[in-house]
Structure 1
């Protein structure tokens, strides 16, 4: 039994232009997603970003205050 080509014959397929191109509107819709996370984009909450920013600023101010106090102590 000879193997048959599984591809459809392009001469009898609808929606094809000469040369094998597909005109606009003839493309099939995208695949349906089966994952649970698919859907429209939603903006994420920015709940914890203020905490690390506050910690960085606090550590920087403590660092600068220590060296300013040390410089003031040495200048006396």
Structure 2
């Protein structure tokens, strides 16, 4: 039983001459495309809604803990 020969380089049968392939990473940076100014991030309404849900959640468990403590 013989071990298979590892490939030690590019396959010469699949060689494509330069110029027939697109350029490498240098042309696909994040700066490509039209300029768009940066957005400011989250709007005020979603942040207020998240804070309100978190506040109601925290108040519910605080009241639950107080009720449990009074019943002991």
Please tell me the TM-score bracket, short chain as reference.
Answer: 0.3 to 0.5
TM-score if structure 2 supplies the norm length? 0.44
TM-score, structure 1 length as denominator? 0.42
Computing the radius of gyration from Cα coordinates, the structure with the larger value is: 1
